[in-house]
């Protein structure tokens, strides 16, 4: 897979999952969100967003605390 086609997911400290790249986002029934013109999205991982699955910034209001980093670094 070339880097151009790769999806990149960034774990934001105390915040959402930022997803960049060619994205298809569907619900459990396969219905797809229209992401036309959006090269990246932020997905809520705190559970407090009123616009789930998207982050609406509520993680700041609730003081969500979670950071994650890999134990091994890949090059």
| DSSP output for the chain | --GGG--EEEE-TTS-EEEESS---B-TT--B---TT-SEEEE-SSS--TTTTB--SHHHHHT-------SS---
Task: Between 23 and 43, name the residue whose CB sits nearer to ligand FES.
Answer: 43
Rule CB under 6 A: is residue 46 a binding residue for ligand FES?
A: yes
Rule CB under 6 A: is residue 19 a binding residue for ligand FES?
A: no
Q: Which stretch binds ligand FES (CB under 6 A): 3-11, 19-27, 50-58, 67-75?
A: 50-58
Rule CB under 6 A: is residue 44 a binding residue for ligand FES?
A: yes
């Amino acid at each position: 897979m070339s880097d151009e086609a790769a999806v990149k997911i960034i774990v934001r400290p105390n915040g959402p999952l930022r997803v960049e790249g060619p994205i298809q986002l569907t619900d459990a029934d396969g219905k797809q969100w229209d992401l036309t013109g959006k090269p990246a999205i932020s997905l809520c991982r705190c559970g407090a967003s009123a616009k789930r699955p998207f982050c609406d910034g509520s993680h700041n209001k609730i003081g969500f605390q979670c950071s994650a980093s890999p134990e091994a670094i890949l090059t």
